[in-house]
Amino acid sequence: MRNDLDRDLERSLEEPRPAHSRLDAAHLHRHDGRILRQEAALSARDEQAQAVFTVIYRVLAVLAAAGIILLLLWSVTDLPAFGGERNPADNEVARRYLEDGVREGGALNLVANIILDYRAFDTLGESNVLFTAACAVLLLLRRQRRADLPHAPEAIEADPPADPVLRAGAALLSPAILMLGLYLILTGHLGPGGGFSGGAVLSGALILYRCAFGGGRAGQLLTYRVWRGATFAALAFYAVSKAYSFFTGANGLPSVFSPGTPGSLFSAGLIPPLNIAVGLVVCCIMYGFFALFRKGEM
Amino acid sequence: MDLQALLDNRAEAAAIILFGIGLTTLLLHRNLLKKVIGFSFMDSAIFLFLASEGYISGRAAPIQSAASDLPASAFINPLPAGLVLTGIVVSVSVTALMLSLTVRLYERFHTLDLDRIVRLAREDAAVSVGAAAPVGKAERKAGTNADAGAAVSAGKAEQKSEKDAALPDPERRDR
Amino acid sequence: MPWWQNIPFFSVLLFLLSAAVCSVLPPAGARRWSRAVLALCLLFSGLLAVLLLHSGGAPVHYRMGHFPAPWGNELRFGALEALLAALFSFVMLCALLAGGGELRGRAGLSRESLYHTLCMLLMAALLSQVYSNDLFTCYVFLEIMTLSACALIVYRNSGRSLAAGMRYMVLNMVGSGLFLLGVVLLYDLTGHLLMEPLGASVASLAVSGAYRRSLTVIIALITVGLCVKSALFPFHTWVPDAYSAGAAPSNAILSSLVSKGYIVLLLKILLRVFGWNPVVLSRVDLLLLLFAWSGMVFGSLGAISASGLTRMTAWSSVAQIGYIFLGLALGPAEGFRAALFHLAVHACSKSLLFLSGAKLREAAGGGDGFRALAGAARLRPVFGVCWTAAAFSMVGLPFTGGLVSKLLLGSAALGRSLPVAAVSLGVLALSTLLNVRYFLRAALILWSPGNVASARSGRDPAAALACGALALAVVLSFVFASPLLEAVSAGLAAF
């Protein structure tokens, strides 16, 4: 038994340790041989135990998944029929959105009425969810250029080489995608689209530009300050304008924003400006995610 | 189980199956990226469910045209569409946060295995001040699968490993 | 409509706006702004609570927008919601005041501003959960709370906090997923998202017997989802790491505010959407009882074997959440009142434990192990006394609010059937004894005339003020227990 342990010990000392296990290195440097022998013995027994455990674990995991699925399917058999006309969900709530949506909200896109007029508080919360995630990702991924290390590497990823195909394609497509995004945002109340989808498309254009031309040129336009200012302005505008809307609504006061004539570009009260604000927030934050993940800075 | 009812509600049934797969992947898989994928699955399944419950056969998307004014019975239920919109944004935000955490964890610990990371983080705290903290077998066992339903055994094993770490009583510094 | 009925809407919007503002201010400005806004909210919520208690019991419905519910969003509040809002603002303000020193440090970076942004977002989410009457709005703000809490954990950027943050996210996303699926299923069955029409529909469905399977599953999904998020046993595995890995104000905020928000939401849903009878019929209350009992015991066992003060405090949270869920599971009126009172007392005392513990650690040189902390309380007697008061409240000694909540839980248990009452009282007694074991040991170590390490004599009047205020709250909750309980009961009747 002792010979086996000594042999294991010698073998473990000879094997090259992987780079990240500096904890193993710390163990090696300790002069307490008892701990090292314990480690070697434990690791041998451990491997076997781990193998058995893994098999049992996989079987149990599959059983757990099957159990949850069967339990939920058991209740799905009880639900109203798919696509049925007399479903409970099709009640007076949905009917008013469909019948009076255009008259009360002003937008032809009935879903835009719901999310930016009837249930605008939810959308305010949703924009702030995105903002919270952006703050968290900033905290985690943003690298600060430390004043005491002037020669610190400025970027994690090098900029891509000047690929002619990519650059030509981006030069052709980015403006088009940009236009599509702006169109979706601005006519979100007249047809399918809106702030969220338009903002995502806009950010796609910016990301494509950055991928093709590198962070240097993109960074001249969209610095951290510009990003921060744009996000702040959009969120503040949403909060303040909706505060006015909620306040006037709750207190029974008339609002200066009226639905207008449905179908024209300048109609639907606050919905187009809110679409723009939401689009700006989504665009900035999605682009910010990309920049932070790629380089750790904007 | 009434198979005919399941077939009638195919979309909901598919959504439930995806939800179950996503939930167990999120909870039980050890690889961080697979956990994020599982979460993505789970949320997409809920959106599929929500979208399918708004559908009414034979009706159109809820967008009026300026020219004609269609009655309410020509459109599907618009409310689930709004809810799905909100849900997608929430899902994207959470995915972004989890992925950034994954990036930082990988930079720090050079592994994507969450159980290993938890173990390394605990050993890190003990070793960093130079005190000896023998890595007992109990601690290793506690590291694996500590998040899953085997909570009682995990809890007991964790207490044992706390005792192991408490014996030499390391002076922990604020890291 | 009287002007003061605008206060809840105003507080939520103010916090949301402040979040955007704090993100562009420099750290000093963000600090001042957040403290000012929190103080303002505390003042106005307190005023609202007093006015609502005076004006009688009916809850106020506040229309958010030009369209009435169920087509538009709605806030609904009574005295209880206002009291909770005031409590949460108070605890957050104290946490930011006392923990401010720890946030400062990395010069020239805007990280601290982001910390305040996240705190503002957390407060907005918390208040929306307390005030909102709509299930989907609650879900959206629940996610804000989860994300900002995770960011608060990983603010410190150490390996431990990153790992803790990841474990936190995984389990919380499981909870969110379950909760959202429950909400979606409920919408499918009833077509409503607002809590009152939902309650009416669920009641009529329960009577008619339709969709009984689905209703049971929905109740289970929503309850288990929120229990996972509020760290009830056996879903507590992320708590010891998450509550001890962050900076001190993060620990305080997470343990005393974030978990409470979920519990308040669960209470609201159980009362307004489901009603207590369907919950009993589906046996979910028994499930909660089992989890609560186990949590109370295992949390204390974990705390006894914890290495270090912060980890011990984190483990004791598991036990205390068990107490609150015991009250919840013991049913309406008595049980809920006990749960809410303990929620309030725990919010104050747990944050006080973390904040004063951090100051004592600082005084003793930074180490967290018990040997390093020997005698720390003698170096900083103010914080030592505050810590001891909080510990006494956790144990349930006289002159602290903890005793009142234990008595309430006991009397609520007595109102149930014999086996439930017997086990509840037994577990309560056992848990109290275990609490005594580890809190008394820690207190003795802290006050022992032991080896005193480097005495960092930095004076922190803001922290002393904050800890003193929290300690005063803990003591006053005992002295003014009767009027507080009456207020809670009145608020519950209108909840």
Per domain, the residue ranges of chain C are: 284-495
**Nearest alpha-carbon partner for C90 in C18, C39, C30:** C39
| Residue B167 pLDDT level (bands cut at 50, 70, 90) | very low
> Which 3 state secondary structure label does DSSP give C63?
strand
Residue of C nearest to A137 (CA): C151
- Residues A174 and A288 both lie in one domain: yes
Say what the ipTM of the complex is.
0.93
Q: Of A46, A85, A127, which has the smallest distance from its Cβ to B56's Cβ? A: A85
- Residues A118 and A222 both lie in one domain: yes
Q: How would you classify residue C25: left for phi > 0, otherwise alpha for psi between -120 and 50, otherwise beta?
A: beta
Beta-carbon separation of C234 and B80 below 8 A: no
Q: Which pLDDT score, from 0 to 100, does residue B168 have?
A: 33
Q: Is residue A83 part of a domain?
A: no
Helix (H) / strand (E) element for B130: namely none
Percent of chain A with pLDDT over 90: 33
Q: Which pLDDT score, from 0 to 100, does residue B136 have?
A: 37
Q: Which pLDDT score, from 0 to 100, does residue A145 have?
A: 55
**Nearest alpha-carbon partner for C223 in C281, C172, C263, C169:** C263
Please check whether residue C112 is in contact with residue C27, taking contact to mean a CB–CB distance below 8 angstroms.
yes
Q: Number of A:C CB contacts under 8 A?
A: 173
Beta-carbon separation of C302 and B94 below 8 A: no
Q: Which pLDDT score, from 0 to 100, does residue A236 have?
A: 95
CA distance C52 to chain B (A): 34
Q: Of B121, B154, B165, which has the smallest distance from its Cβ to C307's Cβ? A: B165
Beta-carbon separation of B94 and C169 below 8 A: yes
Backbone phi, then psi, for C396, in 5-degree steps? 105, 35
Q: What end-to-end distance do the CA atoms of chain A give, in Å?
A: 60
A7-11, A45-49, C202-206, C479-483: segment of lowest average pLDDT: A7-11
Helix (H) / strand (E) element for A203: namely helix A195-221
pLDDT at B145 over 90: no
Q: Is residue A95 part of a domain?
A: no
Q: Is residue A249 part of a domain?
A: yes
Q: Which pLDDT score, from 0 to 100, does residue A42 have?
A: 64
Q: Which pLDDT score, from 0 to 100, does residue B127 have?
A: 56
- Rounded to whole angstroms, the Cα distance separating A70 from A65 reads 9
All residues of chain C having their beta carbon less than 8 Å from the beta carbon of residue A243 are: 9, 13, 17
Q: Looking at chain B, which subunits does it touch, using at least 3 CB pairs closer than 8 Å as the criterion?
A: A, C
All residues of chain C having their beta carbon less than 8 Å from the beta carbon of residue B86 are: 136, 140
Beta-carbon separation of C191 and A87 below 8 A: yes
All residues of chain A having their beta carbon less than 8 Å from the beta carbon of residue B81 are: 111, 114
Domains, chain B, ordered by start: 9-59+77-112 (1.10.287.3510), 114-175 (no CATH)
Give C194's strand partners.
C134
Number of domains in chain A: 2
Beta-carbon separation of C213 and A96 below 8 A: no
Task: Mutation target for B interface from A102, A108, A110, A156: give the one with most B CBs within 10 A.
Answer: A110
Evaluate the omega torsion of the peptide bond into residue C234 and state whether it is cis, within 30 degrees of 0.
yes
C210 touches chain B (CB under 8 A): no
All residues of chain C having their beta carbon less than 8 Å from the beta carbon of residue A139 are: 111, 114, 151, 154-155
Residue of A nearest to C201 (CA): A88
- Residues A123 and A193 both lie in one domain: yes
> Which 3 state secondary structure label does DSSP give B75?
strand
All residues of chain B having their beta carbon less than 8 Å from the beta carbon of residue C158 are: 175
Beta-carbon separation of B81 and A111 below 8 A: yes
Q: Please report, to the nearest 10 degrees, the dihedral formed by the alpha carbons of residues B56, A101, A183, A202 taken in order.
A: -70
Paired tokens of C294: 């186990």
- Cα C413 to chain center, whole Å? 22
Q: Which pLDDT score, from 0 to 100, does residue A35 have?
A: 59
**Nearest alpha-carbon partner for A118 in B81, C71, C76, B84:** C71
All residues of chain B having their beta carbon less than 8 Å from the beta carbon of residue A52 are: none
**Nearest alpha-carbon partner for A239 in C62, C120, C481, C271:** C120
The Cα-based distances of C214 to A75, B36, B157, C286, C410 in angstroms read 5, 29, 37, 19, 35
Give B31's strand partners.
B113
Q: Which pLDDT score, from 0 to 100, does residue C241 have?
A: 87
Give B75's strand partners.
B60
Which residues, 6+ apart, have CB-to-CB distance to A171 below 8 Å? A212
Q: Which pLDDT score, from 0 to 100, does residue A160 have?
A: 66
All residues of chain B having their beta carbon less than 8 Å from the beta carbon of residue C167 are: 114, 118, 147
Q: Which pLDDT score, from 0 to 100, does residue C365 have?
A: 77
State the residue range of the domain holding A50.
2-12+27-75
Q: Of B39, B120, B159, which has the smallest distance from its Cβ to C301's Cβ? A: B159
Q: Which pLDDT score, from 0 to 100, does residue A68 have?
A: 86
Q: Per residue of chain C (495 residues), give pLDDT as tens.
A: 888 889 999 999 999 999 999 999 988 899 999 999 999 999 999 999 999 988 877 889 998 888 887 888 999 998 999 999 999 999 999 999 988 877 776 544 678 899 999 999 999 999 999 999 999 999 999 999 999 999 999 998 888 899 999 999 999 999 999 999 999 999 988 888 999 999 999 999 888 888 888 888 999 999 999 999 999 988 888 998 888 888 889 999 999 999 999 999 999 999 999 988 888 888 888 999 999 999 999 999 999 988 888 999 999 999 999 999 999 998 888 899 999 999 999 999 999 999 999 888 888 877 778 888 888 888 888 999 999 999 999 998 888 888 999 999 999 998 888 888 999 999 999 999 999 999 999 999 888 886 665 555 667 888 889 999 999 999 988 988 888 888 888 888 888
CA distance C403 to chain B (A): 28
**Which carries the bigger pLDDT value, residue C295 or residue A51?**
C295
Please check whether residue A113 is in contact with residue A101, taking contact to mean a CB–CB distance below 8 angstroms.
yes
* DSSP code string of C166-188: HHHHHHHHHHHHHHHHHHHHHHH
Which residues, 6+ apart, have CB-to-CB distance to A218 below 8 Å? A206, A209, A210
- Residues A113 and A64 both lie in one domain: no
Beta-carbon separation of A72 and B75 below 8 A: no
| Residue A34 pLDDT level (bands cut at 50, 70, 90) | low
- Rounded to whole angstroms, the Cα distance separating A227 from C166 reads 27
Please check whether residue A212 is in contact with residue A166, taking contact to mean a CB–CB distance below 8 angstroms.
yes
Q: Of A76, A79, A139, which has the smallest distance from its Cβ to C155's Cβ? A: A139
Beta-carbon separation of B64 and A102 below 8 A: yes
All residues of chain C having their beta carbon less than 8 Å from the beta carbon of residue A232 are: 20-21, 23-24
Beta-carbon separation of B100 and A30 below 8 A: no
Q: Of A129, A147, A255, which has the smallest distance from its Cβ to C147's Cβ? A: A129
C240 touches chain B (CB under 8 A): yes
Q: Number of B:C CB contacts under 8 A?
A: 158
- Residues A62 and A125 both lie in one domain: no
Residue of A nearest to C216 (CA): A75
Q: Of C5, C151, C211, which has the smallest distance from its Cβ to A139's Cβ? A: C151
Q: What is the mean pLDDT of chain A?
A: 80
Q: Any idea which residue has 């009360």 for tokens?
A: A104
CA distance B151 to chain C (A): 6
- Residues A119 and A184 both lie in one domain: yes
Beta-carbon separation of B101 and C305 below 8 A: no
Residue of A nearest to C111 (CA): A139
**Nearest alpha-carbon partner for C12 in A245, B90, A121, A230:** A121
Q: Is residue A278 part of a domain?
A: yes
All residues of chain A having their beta carbon less than 8 Å from the beta carbon of residue B106 are: none
**Which carries the bigger pLDDT value, residue B94 or residue A96?**
B94
Residue of C nearest to A136 (CA): C151
Taking residues B157-169, report their average pLDDT.
Answer: 36
Please check whether residue C234 is in contact with residue C299, taking contact to mean a CB–CB distance below 8 angstroms.
no
- Residues A51 and A198 both lie in one domain: no
Which residues, 6+ apart, have CB-to-CB distance to B106 below 8 Å? B32, B112
Q: Which pLDDT score, from 0 to 100, does residue C386 have?
A: 93
Q: Which pLDDT score, from 0 to 100, does residue C454 have?
A: 54
| Residue A161 pLDDT level (bands cut at 50, 70, 90) | confident
Q: Which pLDDT score, from 0 to 100, does residue B50 have?
A: 92
Which residues, 6+ apart, have CB-to-CB distance to B71 below 8 Å? A99
pLDDT at A3 over 60: no
Give the number of C-alpha atoms closer than 13 A to the C-alpha of residue A117, restricted to the C-beta side: 30
Please check whether residue B44 is in contact with residue B16, taking contact to mean a CB–CB distance below 8 angstroms.
no
C196 touches chain A (CB under 8 A): no
- Residues A122 and A212 both lie in one domain: yes
Paired tokens of C181: 């699926």
- Residues A252 and A118 both lie in one domain: yes
In the DSSP assignment, the letter for residue A257 is -
Q: Which pLDDT score, from 0 to 100, does residue A232 have?
A: 95
All residues of chain C having their beta carbon less than 8 Å from the beta carbon of residue B114 are: 163, 166-167, 170
Q: Any idea which residue has 């961080």 for tokens?
A: B32
Please check whether residue C75 is in contact with residue C132, taking contact to mean a CB–CB distance below 8 angstroms.
yes
**Which carries the bigger pLDDT value, residue A273 or residue A26?**
A273
Which residues, 6+ apart, have CB-to-CB distance to A274 below 8 Å? A116, A120, A123, A195, A238, A241, A242
Task: Mutation target for C interface from B33, B172, B173: give the one with most C CBs within 10 A.
Answer: B172
| Residue A289 pLDDT level (bands cut at 50, 70, 90) | very high
Taking residues A10-28, report their average pLDDT.
Answer: 46
Residue of C nearest to A245 (CA): C65
**Nearest alpha-carbon partner for C322 in C258, C255, C395, C231:** C231
**Which carries the bigger pLDDT value, residue A32 or residue C66?**
C66
Helix residue spans in B55-113 (DSSP H): 79-109
C183 touches chain B (CB under 8 A): no
All residues of chain A having their beta carbon less than 8 Å from the beta carbon of residue C66 are: 104, 245, 248-249, 255
All residues of chain C having their beta carbon less than 8 Å from the beta carbon of residue B101 are: 150, 154, 162, 165-166, 169
- Rounded to whole angstroms, the Cα distance separating C379 from C359 reads 10
- Residues A179 and A271 both lie in one domain: yes
> Which 3 state secondary structure label does DSSP give B60?
strand
B170 touches chain A (CB under 8 A): no
All residues of chain B having their beta carbon less than 8 Å from the beta carbon of residue C164 are: 121
All residues of chain A having their beta carbon less than 8 Å from the beta carbon of residue C145 are: none
Backbone phi, then psi, for A90, in 5-degree steps? -95, 75
All residues of chain A having their beta carbon less than 8 Å from the beta carbon of residue C117 are: 135
C204 touches chain B (CB under 8 A): no
Task: Mutation target for A interface from B97, B109, B139: give the one with most A CBs within 10 A.
Answer: B97
